[in-house]
Structure 1
Amino acid sequence: MPVQPKPRDLLQQLRDFPHFEGIEDPALQWLIERGEYHILPKDDYLFRSNEEINTMQILLRGGYVIRREKDGKKQEMGVWEAPYVSGVLPFSRMTRITAEAKVIEELHFLEIHKNCFTEMVNVSYLLVQRLVSIMTERVRDYQQIQLMNEKLLALGKMSAGLAHELNNPASAMVRSSQELQRHMTNTPEKFKATITMRISPDDVDVVNDILFERLTARVDTQELSLMEREERTDDLTDWLADRGITNVEELTDTFVDWDFRPEHLDSIAEVIPQESLGPVLSWVETNLTTESLVEEISTASKRIAELVSSIKTYSHMDSDPSMEFIDVNDGIKSTLTMLKFRFKQKNVELDKTCDLNLPSIKALEGELNQVWTNLISNALDALPDDGTGKLTIRSYQRRDNLCIDFEDNGPGIPEDIRNRIFEPFFTTKGIGEGTGMGLDIVRRVLLRHGGTVALESSPGKTCFRVCFPL
């Protein structure tokens, strides 16, 4: 970019610069002498993604927006305006830019090459201190942004999982309630046919006894093989056809579901006249169908209640943020409920072996659930989705420690980066896929709880072991 003449009042502008308050004029004059003055018009770029960075910019007027590319789209990270110091700073290890800065208002800045930083220490140690302080603030602000992104990313995954998990029982409830409504519209006809029959109270009791015996002794006919179900359907169809019953298909489907056999129908036929047998069996089928639909609605609503309960347990929203004695197995269970959809998505096998007699530990359950979430999510990310992936979770007591292992059969973590995986912002994932804060959160949460996390990794076996002293 072209170098511009330095304005006459540049020294005064640096004197008025908030971060340089108290810096003596010789040091500010040194910045002017070593720096180059630039002016960038609106919509130009101060820097672009993946460019090497060698200079520090003291922004005196104007501003820019930082954007990162995610899934082929530009995502805004925020707006930075003068007075501000950007670029590389003394003692910074930054070498490349991972985003772009587009000027939104004509930008005036003084640019100093990093080769001058060594000399700067001898010119003004106070100036170096100020710039290092700016770097610390910048890292802290960036960390806050990344933490927020990590939470939003986790929230997005949880929301997607929750929506996916709630969709099935909710759809089942809607479907069953609609079917129940349709079914009930046919009840008056069947009721009329039944009520006009002349059957003794004793005979009604026999039918009721058979009906409620089947309701009470409900057998899970889902376990029947296709062949077994066809055989039972054929037997009931023959029985009904032999007695001139018309709505055979409707009756047999329901009777098979409720484990009715020809002998049960024989008991009904013994006390019911032939001409009344059809209406009575239709009445029995109506009651069984109503029971089935109500049962489906009840099962679906219980599933939704369980999911809501798991959310409360996971987030610990019903409790004050204070340490209490908790069972780690409960937190792992609720976390797995929240991430169940991801196991289905990636077709990953789960092997969970938990010692149910483990002692409780004093902890913030909501924070520990962040630990379980990050470790499980990372393992799932590392596993293939071809059905060969397996995640093993074990909780056990080893001497005076309570331990939880999260072991996957993925490709493993390369040896040259194992010492860096717990560093803030370090990630092997692409831009927008991870912030590099997950394992740092794990480390800091466990540090707060007096726990530790260790890693063992080789191709086909990666294990994160979390331990708490008892």
Structure 2
Amino acid sequence: MDITIDELKAIPALQAVPDEQLQWLIDVGEVFELREGERIFNVGDPINKMFIILEGAIRLCAVQNGKMRELATIKKDGITGFLPYSRATNAFGYGECTQLSRFYQCTAEDLKEGTRLHYELTEALVHTMTSRVRDFTSMQQQNEKMFALGKLSAGLAHELNNPAAAITRGAASLRGQIKNLPLLFKDVATLNIEPHKIDSINNLILERVSQTDRPVLSMMKRSELEDDLYDWLLDHNAKDVDTAENLVDFDFSIDDLEHINSCIPSPQLQVVLGWINNYLLTEKMAQDISESSQRISELVQSVKTFTHMDRDSSKQLLNVHDGIRNTLTMLDYKLRKANIQVVHHFDENLPHIKALAGELNQVWTNIIDNAIDAMEVNGSGELEISTRQDKHFVQVILKDNGPGIPDEIKSQIFDPFFSTKDIGKGSGLGLDVVNRIVKQHNGSVKVTSVPGDTEFEVCFPINDD
């Protein structure tokens, strides 16, 4: 199968290449055909040939997030494979024909020789390569953002589900308690207690319910108190001795029960205890619903702050701690799932820095997320975050006690597309994004690492005029 100069000149990328150089390209290469479904290259194949699609099309597929996905389609006149000055060595995916296709190919050795002889041809192919790198980088950065968003969304869905489920359970239980009110009212209406004693009981109940300094009990101490109250209720013929658990929750003591007992006639004690138990249960459910609602509100606010802080495209004066705290909230589920404790030492007098808040959030997210992944293999870990002022800079140090970064790859961790994670767990752009954003803010990022101690030091200038 032959190819002509005119056919090559019809390819937009090669229109400005002189005829003699196109003839050279024809002489060193060959033309072949592949049927639909056949592959022009496979995963891991050496990138040692340049291909020009003369007719037909191929689709590029690679593993992303653990699954093989189609990344792009290269149609007629497209150029792929080896290009001058490219550092790619092996194919990360495969190229498969989507229809009967005709290709031109030449070897990397011939093309390298051509770069010495033919300037315009080299210029055209280098331009093709830079366009490819730009498009691929843009696509990978978008994939990285979507991948990070997917991880955050999964954690947030779990975080939101817990308080939402608690609200649903609390509301159902609260309805059950409300149904008891008519019967309790009937019993309470028959009581004959002196007004000053009613006030005494009422004040005690209100004091316990509104108490904000209830002691934090160990499981053993709590069990002891419940047993004591259980015995007291049993001795006083209480119908529902499970009331003891609720009484302990609100810090009621045996002295409190004795006081209540002294204020009412003995046969009526059961009615008062029943009413008190219903009231305490209702209060507890209302508190649970309130706390769950507050948790949802905090999560929603964190999401809004995390994602929409850059509505103004100009830099703003920011408290660096706000972004770190929001990021920890967003990653809270993943931290707990990996059994990682967070310790922070914040200098609350730290001056504000001029920055893009959303960009800074990407820095903290990528570093902390990498730390979690590193410590996850140990089943637990500790993330320590410290801030301080270092002369004219705000310094943030993020340390983890994971396995560390091997010396032989330490110099590569900020390179685009370099990753030590398993296939599907990252594209190798996280730390490249960190480095780019920090430099954009005239700052610096350094890393030191030994087994059990990896430290990222991020510095931003206080005055960035």
Shorter chain as denominator, the TM-score bin is over 0.9
Question: Is the CA contact (8 Å cut-off) linking 2:59 and 2:74 kept in structure 1?
Answer: yes
Which of residues 14, 23, 35 is equivalent to 2:8? 14
1:313 has 2:309 as partner:
no
Which of residues 233, 239, 245 is equivalent to 2:232? 239
1:462 has 2:454 as partner:
yes
- Distance change >3 Å, CA 254–CA 409, structure 1 → 2: closer
Measured in 2, the distance between the counterparts of 1:299 and 1:65 equals 52
Q: Which moved more, 1:427-436 or 1:63-72?
A: 63-72
Gaps of 5+ in 1: none
Give per-residue Cα distances to partners, 1:334-370, cap 9 Å, x unaligned. Answer: 1111111222222223221111110000101110010
1:444 has 2:436 as partner:
yes
Give per-residue Cα distances to partners, 1:382-418, cap 9 Å, x unaligned. Answer: 2244345222211111222210111222222222222
Aligned-residue offset at 1:160: 1.2
Question: Is the CA contact (8 Å cut-off) linking 1:59 and 1:110 kept in structure 2?
Answer: yes
1:45-84 matches, within 5 Å, as: 45-70=39-64, 73-84=67-78
Question: Is the CA contact (8 Å cut-off) linking 2:65 and 2:425 kept in structure 1?
Answer: no
Gaps of 5+ in 2: none
SS in 2 for 1:38: strand
1:383 has 2:383 as partner:
no
One-letter code of the match for 1:293?
Answer: M
Aligned-residue offset at 1:459: 2.3
Give per-residue Cα distances to partners, 1:129-176, cap 9 Å, x unaligned. Answer: 010000000000000111011101110111011112222212211111
1:243-322 matches, within 5 Å, as: 243-249=236-242, 251-317=243-309, 319-322=311-314
- Residue 395 of structure 1 is matched in structure 2 by 387
Question: Is the CA contact (8 Å cut-off) linking 1:218 and 1:258 kept in structure 2?
Answer: no
Aligned-residue offset at 1:244: 2.8
Aligned-residue offset at 1:111: 0.6
- Distance change >3 Å, CA 394–CA 276, structure 1 → 2: same
Give per-residue Cα distances to partners, 1:202-248, cap 9 Å, x unaligned. Answer: 33212211111111225546x32344333323332333333333222
Question: Is the CA contact (8 Å cut-off) linking 1:411 and 1:461 kept in structure 2?
Answer: yes
Measured in 2, the distance between the counterparts of 1:238 and 1:383 equals 48
SS in 2 for 1:301: helix
One-letter code of the match for 1:247?
Answer: D
Alignment length (residue pairs):
462
Question: Is the CA contact (8 Å cut-off) linking 1:53 and 1:97 kept in structure 2?
Answer: yes
Structure 2 length normalisation: TM-score? 0.95
Measured in 1, the distance between the counterparts of 2:250 and 2:153 equals 38
Question: Is the CA contact (8 Å cut-off) linking 1:180 and 1:293 kept in structure 2?
Answer: yes
1:371 has 2:371 as partner:
no
Which of residues 211, 215, 221 is equivalent to 2:209? 215
Measured in 1, the distance between the counterparts of 2:264 and 2:398 equals 63
Aligned-residue offset at 1:451: 0.7
Which of residues 160, 175, 178 is equivalent to 2:169? 175
Aligned-residue offset at 1:40: 0.5
- Distance change >3 Å, CA 287–CA 72, structure 1 → 2: closer
Aligned-residue offset at 1:56: 0.5
Question: Is the CA contact (8 Å cut-off) linking 1:219 and 1:259 kept in structure 2?
Answer: no
- Residue 149 of structure 1 is matched in structure 2 by 143
Aligned-residue offset at 1:122: 5.0
Measured in 2, the distance between the counterparts of 1:267 and 1:344 equals 45
1:42 has 2:36 as partner:
yes
Give per-residue Cα distances to partners, 1:400-454, cap 9 Å, x unaligned. Answer: 2210111222222222222222111122223322111111111111111111111
One-letter code of the match for 1:469?
Answer: P
- Distance change >3 Å, CA 212–CA 26, structure 1 → 2: same
- Distance change >3 Å, CA 453–CA 302, structure 1 → 2: same
Which of residues 11, 18, 23 is equivalent to 2:17? 23
Which of residues 177, 200, 203 is equivalent to 1:206? 200
One-letter code of the match for 1:285?
Answer: N
Question: Is the CA contact (8 Å cut-off) linking 2:310 and 2:357 kept in structure 1?
Answer: no
- Residue 90 of structure 1 is matched in structure 2 by 84
Measured in 2, the distance between the counterparts of 1:71 and 1:151 equals 13
One-letter code of the match for 1:364?
Answer: L
Aligned-residue offset at 1:72: 6.1
Aligned-residue offset at 1:318: 7.7
Measured in 1, the distance between the counterparts of 2:302 and 2:295 equals 10
CA root-mean-square deviation: 1.8
Measured in 2, the distance between the counterparts of 1:318 and 1:112 equals 48
